[in-house]
Amino acid sequence: MRADIDKGSGNIILTGMPGSGKSTVGPLLAQKTGKCFADTDDILRDAVGRELGDIVRTEGHIGFLELQQQIITSMEFLDHVIATGGGVVKSDGLMQYFKQIGKVIFLDEDLSTLERRLAPGRRLARSDGQSFMAVYEERRPLYIKYADLIINCRGKTAEEIALEIMDDE
């Protein structure tokens, strides 16, 4: 591994759209690197004691993002692989926090694959009536903006993606 893996505290932060593989690649990468694994959706769900969809319904899109930033930035991560919720990229404060504590990696997957993987009825942190394609088009430039590394995931297995990330490290 190259020395830049130690940027921050040795954390690897996975970003990308829902369905891009963060929650699949993350645990595999953590196991292969000997790091701990954390999923920001699980952290938020546990901290609030409610499902994410319920939080979005009651707090609204903006309230959800603010709550997420407050909870995640109050935590300390040391030597973790962190799978982020797809909407974290909408919070500049949260993305700056992630860039301070580790290497941000964007798992870039094509729109048709993402749509196919997305569970029917899954609620995303988005404006009312906003289509999945509109969310993708809005977020993709932000994922690129904040990424220290972009992984093209098209046609690759979780194992291949994890190994590619490790090769870059």
Task: Tell me the domains of the chain and their CATH numbers.
Answer: 3-168 (3.40.50.300)
How big is the chain by its Cα radius of gyration, in Å? 15
pLDDT at 65: 86
pLDDT at 123: 53
d(CA 43, CA 41): 5
Residue carrying the six token digits 């292969």:
32
Burial class (CB within 10 angstroms; exposed 0-12, middle 13-18, buried 19+) of 34: exposed
Copy the structure tokens of residue 148. Answer: 């220290």
pLDDT per residue as tens, the chain (169 positions)? 333 333 345 899 999 999 999 999 999 999 999 999 999 999 999 999 998 888 888 988 788 889 999 999 999 999 999 999 878 998 999 999 999 999 999 999 999 899 888 766 555 555 566 788 888 999 999 999 999 999 999 999 999 999 999 987 6
Q: What angle do CA 130, 132, 138 make, to 5 degrees?
A: 75
pTM confidence score:
0.89
Q: Which amino acid is at 155?
A: G
